Structure 1
Amino acid sequence: MKKVVDYRGVLLFLLLSFSGAWLVSLPLWISQKGLLHPFTGLVLLVMMAVPALAVLVVYMLNGGTEKTRLLGLGLGSKGWWRYWVFGWFIVPLFAIFAPFMSSAFGLYTLDVQDFSGFKELLASGKGGVDPDTVPVRLLVFGQLFSIFLSPVLNAVFVFGEEIGWRGYLLPRLLPLGQWPALLISGIVWGLWHSPVVLLGYNYPQHPVYGVFFMMILCVIFGVLFGWTRLATGSIWPAVIAHGALNGSAGVMYLFSKAGTTFDTAHAGITGWTGWILPVLWILILLVTRRLPVSDPPDERLLSFYSLQGPL
């Protein structure tokens, strides 16, 4: 039986996810304080839970006909641990090396000797630590170490997104083919951030064009996260990778030189110079024929259940 996309379920999921994101972020817009609103952190956390709530509603409206195995809540197929290693260690390294890539293109000024930019940030009181009482190099080491703890610390928050994007949406787009499914789900993921990106989130210098940059960022990492999902049949490697990526966001401030600025659209993991290494990883997957994934567990499940009925 031919597999088809359950467009009704997918469109309902997208409607709920996007409208929910805008609804949650509405206080930031109404107050005219934007990201300076005192509840911005809470808004972002609740917003991350919206895709999971959308999946739950779709399940409820389908009268329990949804197949939970398609959400990828298990550990996954044999060899799943390799993809956990990728998410836990390789993804943070993309972010850690991003400032050096940006510096190579002259778009970021490094200071890895005195860490003067980080020291300046701490002196302003934004870091919560007095640089005169604790050696700055020790603080930098602590920050780098904490990045590798972030997959665990952030897992509960990014789970809400991942069960939506890689748990629900990606498998249900597979009848279109792996590449269309990966690219479309990545574009959707990026556009979903629009309510806060338009306020300057991630791209404060480019609040409007930032939506486009965010979309590219999410397509690149959506392909990588989706690769782990398709290869294992589990969302957990993607949860780990997503948590690591979010936890690496501030690494640019560790290595910067005091008195300098940088454009996040060009420098760091959010900028095009920071995308070079993850794109190279994707190219390696293509050359080694690990992408598209051959005989992914999700496609076997789709064949078993058939998408003729509502999912």
Structure 2
Amino acid sequence: MPGGGGPGPSGAVPGSASGTAPGAARVRWIPIVVFYVLACALAWLVISPLWISGKGLQNPLLGVLSPLMMYTPAAAALFVLMVVQRVRGRAVLASLGMWPIRPLKRTLLLSLAALVGTALLPIVVTFIAAGLGLVRLDLVNFSGFAQVLQSQMPAGQTYPLSVRTTVIVQLVMLLPASATNAMFTVGEEIGWRGFLMSSLRPLGTWPALGISGAMWGLWHAPLILLGYDFGRRDALGVLLMIVSCGSLARCSDGYASAAATSGRRYSVMPH
């Protein structure tokens, strides 16, 4: 981690986003490489039953394995901090931007804004992709969405609800689902924002966002290449995920910049 693993005398972790000009601290690449290789290896290991079975997204284990995959970045980050860098105690939480939580009111408000914003972001990205000609939208019959729903059903069975009803239900459930999803995605935030973004921050905000966004998006490859999210099983699907993750990383930078005024590292937030 930049500047060492433990908190400084003022309670801030050396190399944090606040008070550190780009280039003032040196990026330690070995821990970053170990973190990323381990996170990707664990992700492929967790999702491997979907590939081995040949059923892909139709495998009933999808609902268990995909949330479990979300915790692999946190596991990799904790391994690097505690085993490679030998960080101990509260310094681990401080290194990941999880402690102290201050200012509390601003943190809670920005977390709420993050939940709302990230619930809407996939819709925005989809329309951008349509505008660029990367995907074709059917907003009348939702034929593409119907195909995705049917592909997730066992052979010989049809999806029980009409497509339009499903669309309405999903729109109504956007915010509740985002809040529920946050319980699982915290594993990603600990790894990508808490560890990786903090480690890359000495490069400057934009380079760090670009690198972390690309690494984050590529990490999703085990699921994306099965047709998850974008319905594509090729490099374009992975590229769309990289763009989506890059956008999310940029949104989270505003949150982190505000939190950094309290002397914290790049902060963990729900997404």
**TM-score, with structure 1 as normaliser:** 0.63
Partner of 1:230: 257
Q: Structure 1 residues 200 and 97 mapped into 2: Cα distance closer, same or farther (>3 Å)?
A: closer
Match of 1:194 among 214, 221, 228: 221
Q: Distance in 2 between matches of 1:130 and 1:214?
A: 28
Give runs of aligned pairs for residues 151-230 of structure 1, distance below 5 A.
Answer: 151-230=178-257
Q: Distance in 1 between matches of 2:35 and 2:115?
A: 29
Partner of 1:34: 56
Partner of 1:45: 67
Partner of 2:138: 109
Partner of 1:64: 87
- Structure 2, unaligned runs of 5 or more: 4-23, 151-156, 261-265
Q: Aligned residues: percent identity? A: 34
Q: Distance in 1 between matches of 2:95 and 2:253?
A: 14
Partner of 1:282: none
Give runs of aligned pairs for residues 220-299 of structure 1, distance below 5 A.
Answer: 220-233=247-260, 235-236=267-268, 238-239=269-270, 242=271
Q: Distance in 2 between matches of 1:103 and 1:181?
A: 28
Q: Distance in 2 between matches of 1:97 and 1:170?
A: 24
1:96 Cα shift? 4.9
Q: In the TM superposition, what whole-angstrom CA distance separates every residue of 1:10-43 from its partner, at most 9, and x where no partner exists?
A: 1211121011111112222222222222212222
1:153 Cα shift? 0.9
Structure 2 SS opposite 1:30: helix
Deviates more, 1:67-76 or 1:180-189: 67-76
Q: Structure 1 residues 20 and 73 mapped into 2: Cα distance closer, same or farther (>3 Å)?
A: same
Q: Structure 1 residues 32 and 235 mapped into 2: Cα distance closer, same or farther (>3 Å)?
A: same
- Structure 1, unaligned runs of 5 or more: 243-311
- The amino acid of 1:64's aligned partner reads V
Count of residues in Structure 1 that have an aligned counterpart in Structure 2:
229
**TM-score, with structure 2 as normaliser:** 0.71
RMSD: 3.2
Q: Distance in 2 between matches of 1:208 and 1:178?
A: 27
2:118·2:248 contact (CA, 8 Å) conserved in 1? no
- Stretches (4+) displaced over 3 A: 74-78, 93-107, 115-122, 128-131, 139-143, 233-236
Structure 2 SS opposite 1:79: helix
1:145 Cα shift? 2.7
Structure 1 SS opposite 2:231: coil
Q: Structure 1 residues 85 and 10 mapped into 2: Cα distance closer, same or farther (>3 Å)?
A: same
2:226·2:232 contact (CA, 8 Å) conserved in 1? no
Q: Distance in 2 between matches of 1:152 and 1:198?
A: 26
1:228 Cα shift? 1.6
- The amino acid of 2:86's aligned partner reads G
Q: Structure 1 residues 116 and 49 mapped into 2: Cα distance closer, same or farther (>3 Å)?
A: closer
1:229 Cα shift? 2.5
